[in-house]
Amino acid sequence: MPDQKNPPVKKPKAAAAQPKKPIEQAAYTPRPPAKPARAKARHWGLLIAFLVMVILPVAGSSWYLYTRAADQYASTLGFTVRSEDVSSSLDLLSGLGSSLGSSGGRDSDILYEFISSQELVRAIDAKMDLRRIFSRHYDTDPLLSFNTGGTIEDLTAFWQRMVRVSYDAGSGLIELRTLAFSPDEAQQIARLIYDESSEMINELSAIARSDATRYAQEELTLALERLKLAREAMTTFRLANQIVDPNADIQVQMGLLTSLQTQQVSALIEFDLISETASPNDPRVAQARRRLEVIEALIDNERQKFGTGGSGPTGQQFARTIAEFERLSVDREYAEATYATALNALDAARAEANRQSRYLAAYIQPTLAEKPEFPQRELIVAFVLLFSFLIWAICSLVFYALRDRR
């Protein structure tokens, strides 16, 4: 039986879950709308600076280029200095062939400087009045035209603007571009430049030929003078000694001496034979002895002419006369050989100089423009815009950098 005294205890029921109250959110107050942006003084300053430093230069340059600047026409010319060398066997005689070699590169260097020189400007100005051509539009286009009141130095400076030269030192090619206010004048200027340059090259060639032959000509003149003196000395010697060729006289006297010696041998044999067969008082012995003595005297006389005791036709020692003649002969032969060598050298130099041909060869004839190419308006305006904007941007950055450092 269940225990009546201890009845089961009933557990109380859990209270029903109460619903959670919603968390009250904080009140949100929206911010008022921002005030409209207003340009400040610095902004207006940047805008004004942009207008002054960018827009105004671009507008001004565009206005001038498209309304005032005169059209310019270009003519192109290209040429080079050619040199044709022909080798000659005469170089072996003179050795002057190398002195005639002229470098086309050096000539092109000279020509490159000549085209920009005042001398060329003065020459072309005298032929076609460059001042009038370049100053034709000065009233409407003073910036790109020449001032008629300018000096020759001013004209040369303006010439260097209108004539642009490009030079390849490796190949020696020269190409130039001439500008003028009409196509015919640009082409004419290019042709005159070519003509003056060709004349300059001809002058350089003439100077080279003159330099090549001058030394040989001087040597020939000295050799000729030496030969004249040698021949005059020989003539004076012959007139003074009345001898044309002492060597011939020596041959005659040597023949005479040989003949006398032969006669001496015969007379000596005859004298010995007579002395053996006849008495000492025999007249034949005295006659043979006398004949032998005469021959010996003649031989001694002829021998003395070759020694220090003899004398020649003028009273001088014959040996000294022979020595003087030989000295004069050697001087004359040397002078003749020197003259022949100098003459060959001059002939070789002249022949090689004539073979040396330097000339101006045009690979681009002066062109005639059909439309103006200059001034390059779009390019100039673009450069003005670019540089003006860069200057404005740099000035703005500098302004803000200084402002932030305060």
Does residue 361 sit in the same domain as residue 213?
Answer: yes
Position 233 in a domain: yes
Q: Going edge to edge, which strands form the sheet with 357-364? A: 163-168, 173-180, 73-84, 357-364
90/212 same-domain check: yes
318 band by pLDDT with thresholds 50, 70 and 90: low
Residue 14's pLDDT band (boundaries 50, 70, 90)?
very low
Residues 76, 217, single domain; the answer is yes
Q: What is the average pLDDT across 249-258?
A: 68
Determine, yes or no, domain membership for 19: no
H runs (alpha helix) in 85-182: 91-94, 104-115, 118-128, 130-134, 152-162
| Confidence grade of residue 390 (pLDDT, cut at 50, 70, 90) | very high
Whether residue 108 is found in the same domain as residue 256: no
Residue 313 is assigned to a structural domain of this protein: yes
For the entire predicted model, the pTM comes to 0.59
Among 163-177, 274-288, 381-395, the least confident range: 274-288
Task: State residue 101's pLDDT score.
Answer: 40
The range of the structural domain enclosing residue 359 comes to: 70-221+355-370
Q: Is residue 252 part of a domain?
A: yes
pLDDT band at 330 (very low <50, low <70, confident <90, very high): confident
- Reported as a pLDDT band with limits 50, 70 and 90, residue 296 is confident
pLDDT recorded at residue 285: 74
In the chain the first and final C-alpha atoms are separated, in Å, by 103
Residue 231 in domain: yes
Q: Is the predicted pLDDT of residue 365 greater than 80, yes or no?
A: yes
Q: pLDDT category, 314, cuts 50, 70, 90?
A: very low
Q: 196 and 283 share a domain?
A: no
- Quick one: 137 exposed, middle or buried, by C-beta within 10 A (0-12, 13-18, 19+)? middle
Q: Is residue 31 part of a domain?
A: no
Q: Are residues 165 and 233 in the same domain?
A: no
Q: What CATH number does the domain containing 167 carry?
A: 3.30.1890
Share of the chain above pLDDT 90, in %: 22
Q: How far apart are CA 268 and CA 292, in angstroms?
A: 6
Question: pLDDT-based confidence at 164, cuts 50/70/90?
Answer: very high
Each residue of 34-57: pLDDT tens digit? 566 565 666 788 888 889 989 999
Average pLDDT, the chain: 78
pLDDT tens digits for range 191-221: 999 999 998 888 888 887 777 788 888 888 8
d(CA 186, CA 374): 12
Q: Give the pLDDT of residue 107.
A: 77
The set of long-range contacts for 39-44, using a CB threshold of 8 Å and a minimum separation of 24, is 42/399, 42/403
Per-residue pLDDT, averaged over 164-187, amounts to 90
Residues 163, 89 share a domain: yes
pLDDT above 70: residue 156: yes
Does a structural domain hold residue 288?
yes
**Are 200 and 321 in the same domain?**
no
Question: Does residue 4 lie within any of the structural domains?
Answer: no
Dihedral sign (CA 283, 288, 291, 297):
negative
* 310 and 395 co-located in one domain: no
Q: Are residue 363 and residue 382 in the same domain, yes or no?
A: no
Tell me which of 222 and 246 has the higher pLDDT.
222
Q: Pick from 98-102, 118-122, 257-261 the range whose average pLDDT is largest.
A: 118-122
381 and 344 in one domain? Answer: no
**Total residue length of the chain:** 406
CA 80/CA 358 separation, integer angstroms: 10
pLDDT band of residue 98 (cuts 50, 70, 90) is very low
**80 and 193 share a domain?**
yes
> Into how many domains does the chain fold?
3
